[in-house]
Amino acid sequence: MVKVFIIGAGKGGKAVLSRLRQFNWIQIAGVADLNPEAPAIEMAKEANIPTFLEDPFPLLNNLSVDLVFDLTGNPIVGTKLLNFPDAQFDVATGEVTQILWNVILELEDKESRIIQQLGEHQILLDISLMLSSSETPDQIFEAIVAGGVRITGMPAGSLSVYNKEKQQLFLVATKGFSSEFYKNAVYPVRPGGLTEHILSKNEPILVPDISDFPAFNNPIILKEGIRSLIAIPLVSEKGPVGILYADDFEPRNFQSSSLLESLRMLAAQAVIAIQKQQAFEKIKELSIRDPLTGLYNRRYLNKVMVSEIGRASRLKSPLSVILVDVDYFKLINDKFGHLVGDHVLQGLSSCFESIIRPYDVLARFGGEEFLILMSETDEVEAVAFAERLRQATETANFLPNGSTLTCSFGVCTFRDIQGSTLSPKELIRCADEALYLAKREGRNRVRLHRK
């Protein structure tokens, strides 16, 4: 069950609240607004949902919630939520969130119509109930595979979800296979290949005996002992969503026409369930990203730092933090305007992202500050890396009239700090001290924190 709290009970809050109430996997912990006559406040009271006519931030210290909707339209509220200390919740803001909820609502409507069409298909009704009661992606994926196995009466099955950007399928759930099967969790969709052929179909593909179909006779299938299978393409109006397989370790004779109809209906249910899950995951993705730069926000960074500090302690490996501050940023806003200031922050984000390693974490730390978390990186490597960023910033063309933009950098490495109770706050404090030194000495330089 996902626990949700809404801040802002105006028209936007009412629209989102009306949608949230339709999902049985969401619990609304409360609605907050300073206006007692706000539309969502009245709606919440009618539905016996807790309402709060006070500053919501003290409340969040005591409430256990997973997701906070900021529907105030107030940038100050948004900034405070994104930088909420030690937050255990995600934050969803902006019009994009409402668009995604509209998508989910549309999918719920399609799902309702499908259930009405199921009639006496008791198995499909049971599967529908399983999907609607699933609360996590894993539960949804496992329910889809279980449904495929139950309808076909076959002992094994698997589900792979399609990633359009990477042109890959990702194995997300299996039943009846060995642990070795999961080692082949990612595979490409090649033009003209078997997988592309399956995804291009709108009908299940039945293979009574794979020995008669060389295209299906691959080493992974042979190693598992699969002899017959059904490949069920999951396709939406916008394209492929994934493939559901039902497998047997003996040849099968598929003759029932009702089986195909049941599989078509199962595929329709599976597509909607996966799309709903993906839409909700996009909302959560928005909640850990800074809306201006697209980088991770400070609250997400705090969670990652706790994990990385623990990992560095266990492995006895160095962990470095680089804190970056744009020099004279207030003067840039005053001279060129805030739109140019936003362009600078977006340009720096793209510049830094193109330089950091794939496993480094880059976040917008504050107004004009960035933080880079670098695992298994000592102080010498971190300083050299920060120098690369400094030079890239100095030579980039971010400001009008050829003006030069510079940044100051503070570096701190985990093993330089004594004590066994190091926290993210202490690690950042040390990087901030080094950054202060860089600015005090003239800016546009890199400084390392010393003991």
The position carrying tokens 């196995």 is 149
Domain identity same for 157 and 35? no
Domain identity same for 125 and 271? yes
How many domains does the chain divide into? 3
Tokens describing residue 24 = 């049985």
Q: Which is nearest to 324 in space by CA: 302, 353, 304?
A: 353
Beta bridge partners of 247: 156, 229
Judge whether residue 211 has pLDDT over 50: yes
Task: Look at residue 116 and tell me if it is in a domain.
Answer: no
Task: Look at residue 157 and tell me if it is in a domain.
Answer: yes
Whether the Cβ atoms of residue 265 and residue 117 lie closer than 8 Å to each other: yes
Tokens describing residue 161 = 């979800």
Q: Phi, psi (5° rounding) for residue 185? A: -80, -15
Residue 421 has what pLDDT? 55
Q: How far apart are CA 100 and CA 307, in angstroms?
A: 30
State the chain's mean pLDDT as an integer.
Answer: 83
Catalytic residue among 368, 387, 394, 441: 368
pTM comes to 0.51
Task: Look at residue 229 and tell me if it is in a domain.
Answer: yes
Residue range(s) defining the domain that contains residue 67: 2-100
Q: How far apart are CA 41 and CA 412, in angstroms?
A: 47
Give the tens place of pLDDT for each residue, 39-76: 999 999 999 999 999 998 888 888 888 888 888 878 78
Which of 66, 100, 134 is the endpoint of a domain?
Answer: 100
Judge whether residue 31 has pLDDT over 50: yes
CATH code of the domain in which 24 resides? 3.40.50.720
Tokens describing residue 343 = 């362009």
Q: How far apart are CA 163 and CA 241, in angstroms?
A: 8
Q: How far apart are CA 77 and CA 149, in angstroms?
A: 49
Which residue type, as a one-letter code, is found at position 31?
Answer: V
- For 401: left if phi > 0, alpha if psi spans -120 to 50, otherwise beta; the answer is left
Residue 35 has what pLDDT? 93
The position carrying tokens 């009908």 is 203
Q: Phi, psi (5° rounding) for residue 399? A: -110, 155
Q: Which is nearest to 410 in space by CA: 389, 396, 394?
A: 389
Task: Look at residue 108 and tell me if it is in a domain.
Answer: no
Tokens describing residue 42 = 């009245």
- 87 contacts: CB under 8 Å, gap ≥ 6: 60, 81, 299, 302
Domain identity same for 369 and 253? no
Q: How far apart are CA 294 and CA 2, in angstroms?
A: 24
Q: How far apart are CA 403 and CA 48, in angstroms?
A: 58
Angle at 381 (CA atoms; ends 380, 383), nearest 5 degrees = 65
Beta bridge partners of 244: 159, 232
Q: How far apart are CA 353 and CA 408, in angstroms?
A: 17
Give the pLDDT band of residue 265 (cuts 50, 70, 90). Answer: confident
Residue 311 has what pLDDT? 85
Domain identity same for 73 and 222? no
Task: Look at residue 154 and tell me if it is in a domain.
Answer: yes
- The highest-confidence range among 62-66, 242-246, 262-266, 383-387, by mean pLDDT, is 383-387
3-state secondary structure of 334: helix
Task: Look at residue 178 and tell me if it is in a domain.
Answer: yes
Give the tens place of pLDDT for each residue, 296-312: 888 788 888 888 888 88
The position carrying tokens 């969401």 is 26
Pairing of strands 26-32, 51-52: parallel
Q: Phi, psi (5° rounding) for residue 257? A: -70, -30
HSE-CB for 98 with a 13 A CA cutoff: 15
Whether the Cβ atoms of residue 405 and residue 393 lie closer than 8 Å to each other: yes
CATH code of the domain in which 271 resides? 3.30.450.40
Q: How far apart are CA 64 and CA 35, in angstroms?
A: 24
Domain identity same for 156 and 93? no
Is 368 designated active site? Answer: yes
Give the tens place of pLDDT for each residue, 74-99: 878 877 887 777 777 777 765 556 55
Give the tens place of pLDDT for each residue, 4-13: 899 999 887 8
CATH code of the domain in which 441 resides? 3.30.70.270
Lowest mean pLDDT among 108-117, 141-150, 258-267: 108-117
Domain identity same for 205 and 273? yes
Which of 250, 284, 318 is the endpoint of a domain?
Answer: 284
Tokens describing residue 428 = 């950042």
Give the tens place of pLDDT for each residue, 370-400: 999 999 999 999 999 999 999 999 998 888 8
Domain identity same for 145 and 267? yes
Cβ-based neighbour number of residue 449 at 10 Å: 22
Which residue type, as a one-letter code, is found at position 171?
Answer: L
Domain identity same for 271 and 419? no
Task: Look at residue 355 and tell me if it is in a domain.
Answer: yes
Higher-scoring residue by pLDDT: 219, 321: 321
Residue 200 has what pLDDT? 84
Give the tens place of pLDDT for each residue, 332-361: 999 999 899 999 999 999 999 999 988 899
Which of 237, 252, 284 is the endpoint of a domain?
Answer: 284
Whether the Cβ atoms of residue 200 and residue 244 lie closer than 8 Å to each other: no
Write down how long the chain is. 451
Whether the Cβ atoms of residue 164 and residue 239 lie closer than 8 Å to each other: yes
